[in-house]
Structure formats: C-alpha cells, structure tokens
C-alpha cells in the first residue's frame, strides 16, 4: 500500500503531514492527516488516537482548529484524522447538494444501497484498511484509542462498541447518540443501508452499548455543550446515558455550560480528552 505526501509541517517538535492514497475499500483516492510526536523521530513506536470528524468536515478541520499538538507532543501520542467520506470524480453525492448526505457525510458505515455502495465503505476503511496502512508506514504501537465529534462522535462510539478489543478507550464531543431516531441518522441510514431498520440498529450506539459484556466496557468520556443548537433534535445523549446507567457502565458524561457545537468547544476541552486516553495506553 503506497501513500503520497501532500504537505508537511513541523509543530511542537513533531510533524503534521497530509497524505493521499488509493483506497481498496472506497475505490477512490482518500486523504488523511497524521501528527507524529517528537518521540517517534527515532522510530520509537507511539500510541495512536483515531479522530473522526463531523458533517461537512475533512481531515483538515481537527488538525487546524483543535489545538491538540502541544499536549500530544508532551504525551508522545500520534493522532490520525481521516476524511469523513470518499470523494472525487464519480463518487455519488446528494443530487440536491445537502450537507448531511453524500460528500462529507459518510457516517462511518458500509453502504449497501445504490448509488452509494461502490464508494461509501467508511466502516471498513476506518476499522481495517487505514490501520493496516498506518502500521505499515509509521512507527506506531498496537495501542489505539478513538474519539470524534458529532457524526464522528457517532462513528467513534459505534466503532468502539462494535470492536472493543481494538481500543483502550473512547471519547466524544457532542456525539449523535441515537442515529436511528434523529433526522440526520434516519436520512443517512435510509440512503446508505436501505429501509431495513434492523441494519440501522447495528450502528446505533445507544443500542450497541447494551450488547457489551462487563469485560468489554471501555473507559468512556463524553463532553456535551449546554448551548448546542443540535442537542435536543439530533444528538440525544440522554439515550446513551440512560442505557449506561441501566448497565452500570462507568460513563463519564459532562455537560459544559455555555458551550456550543463548534471547534471552540473542542479546543477548550481537547487536552482533557488526550490525557484521558493516555491514561489507558
């Protein structure tokens, strides 16, 4: 698997780089960004945090806006930010140009419906292809954590709950906690997965958490802004919190007063999340 370097910048003693590669999963060229801390300069394997971004985002939003590099450099933690969907000529997009379906809105599932199925295989890309690619080309260890924001929070939670053996911890900012019962999730799942709602449930974190055995429960941190415009209609964190309480799952759910859905919110608390994950490496 070959990768092409697009850009490289030194930051806090480490290096931030953007790469592209031809993906077997999505059948198109994919882009990702990776931050390697200074500890990796001598090929010392370092732990890796997967960051999954939200609707309309790409690999660039988190890397440019979150302010994560200083703490990541201190801790010796690598961070990878993949794109949020396949892109390029011939890749299906919403014909009406909606922001919540198609390009920038992959929802981290494997689509089974036309015209999405050919390229929108984001679950396989995040869980299988990208890890193999990173482990081939970068000095990273087998220690992995996963985090995300909004649609990416949905992705981080659902992927972690479906693959608890792969990650040491999971966290999210403003995650879509019950996609089977919110407009964003219903629209995307109907398009990508079809009308069989049993298939939708395979990617609903408020349901997936109930399938975990006690020994599979990962350390979990969620931050939610109280002034998030999407809180009531789209995010529904109470569904996940209630499910966790029923299971005695030790979820750390924090409501941050006055914060919204933006990267100002993420930048304010990203240090907490990085230190949280590092504790479990």
pLDDT digits (tens, 9 = 90+) for 174-194: 999 999 999 999 999 999 999
Give the residue carrying structure tokens 């031809």: 22
Give the H/E segment covering residue 15: strand 14-22
Mean pLDDT of 119-127: 98
Phi then psi for 115, rounded to 5 degrees? -90, 15
* pLDDT for 171: 98
Question: Of all helices (H) and strands (E), which one includes residue 30?
Answer: strand 29-36
Check if the beta carbon of residue 232 is closer than 8 Å to that of residue 261: no
Residues 236-250: what's their mean pLDDT?
96
Residue 21's pLDDT band (cuts 50, 70, 90): very high
Q: Is 150 designated active site?
A: yes
| Residue 42 pLDDT grade (very low, low, confident, very high; cuts 50, 70, 90) | confident
Q: What count of residues does the chain have?
A: 281
Alpha-carbon torsion, ordered 250, 256, 261, 263, to 10 deg: -100
The predicted structure's pLDDT at residue 262: 98
Q: What is the mean pLDDT of residues 112-139?
A: 98
Q: Which residues make Cβ contacts (< 8 Å) with residue 272, sequence separation at least 6? A: 221, 223
Two structure tokens written together for 19: 């790469």
> How far is CA 70 from its chain centroid?
21
Q: Determine contact, residues 58/25, Cβ cutoff 8 Å.
A: no
Average of per-residue pLDDT values in the chain:
97
pLDDT at 252: 98
Per-residue pLDDT, 44: 85
Q: Which of 23, 25, 58, 150 is catalytic?
A: 150
Select which of 149, 261, 273, 277 is catalytic.
261
Active site residue 228: yes
**Catalytic residue at 158?**
no
User: Structural domains in the chain?
Assistant: 4-280 (3.40.50.1820)
Query: Which pair of tokens denotes residue 53?
Result: 């971004």
pTM score: 0.97
Structure confidence by residue, pLDDT tens digits, 129-173: 999 999 999 999 999 999 999 999 999 999 999 999 999 999 999
Q: From the candidates 59, 83, 223, 228, which is the catalytic residue?
A: 228
If pLDDT is split at 50, 70 and 90, which confidence band does 210 have? very high
Kind plus residue range of the DSSP H or E element containing 152: helix 151-162
The number of angstroms, rounded, from the C-alpha of 98 to the middle of its chain's C-alpha atoms is: 21
**Which of 61, 31, 64, 62 is closest to 49 using CA atoms?**
62
DSSP 229-281: TTIIIII-HHHHHHHHHHHT--EEEEEETT--SSHHHHHHHHHHHHHHHHHT-
Q: Going by DSSP bridges, is the β-strand pair 78-82/29-36 parallel, antiparallel, or unpaired?
A: antiparallel
Q: What is the pLDDT of residues 27-37, one digit of tens each?
A: 999 999 999 99
The predicted structure's pLDDT at residue 1: 82
DSSP code for 58: -
Percent of the chain with pLDDT over 70: 100
209 pLDDT band (50/70/90 cuts)? very high
């Amino acid at each position: 698997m070959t990768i092409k370097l697009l850009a490289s910048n030194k930051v806090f003693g480490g290096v931030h780089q953007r790469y592209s590669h031809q993906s077997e999963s999505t059948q198109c060229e994919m882009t990702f960004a990776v931050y390697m801390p200074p500890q990796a300069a001598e090929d010392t394997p370092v732990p890796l945090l997967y960051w999954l971004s939200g609707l309309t985002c790409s690999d660039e939003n988190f890397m440019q806006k979150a302010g994560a590099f200083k703490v990541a450099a201190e801790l010796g933690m690598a961070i990878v930010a993949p794109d949020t969907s396949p892109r390029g000529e011939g890749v299906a997009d919403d014909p009406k140009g909606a922001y919540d379906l198609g390009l920038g809105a992959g929802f981290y599932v494997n689509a089974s419906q036309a015209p999405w199925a050919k390229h929108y295989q984001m679950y396989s890309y995040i869980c299988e292809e990208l890890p193999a690619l990173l482990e081939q080309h970068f000095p990273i260890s087998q220690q992995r954590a996963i985090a995300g924001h909004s649609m990416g929070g949905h992705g981080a939670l659902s992927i972690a709950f479906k693959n608890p053996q792969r990650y040491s911890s999971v966290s999210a900012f403003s995650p879509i906690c019950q996609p089977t019962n919110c407009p964003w999730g219903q629209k995307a799942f109907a398009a990508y997965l079809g009308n069989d709602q049993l298939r939708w449930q395979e990617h609903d974190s408020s349901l997936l958490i109930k399938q975990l055995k006690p020994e599979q429960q990962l350390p979990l941190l969620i931050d939610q802004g109280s002034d998030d415009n999407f809180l009531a209609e789209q995010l529904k964190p109470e569904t996940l919190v209630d499910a966790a309480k029923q299971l005695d799952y030790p979820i750390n759910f924090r409501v941050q007063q006055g914060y919204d859905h933006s990267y100002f919110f993420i930048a304010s608390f990203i240090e907490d999340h990085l230190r949280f994950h590092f504790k479990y490496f």
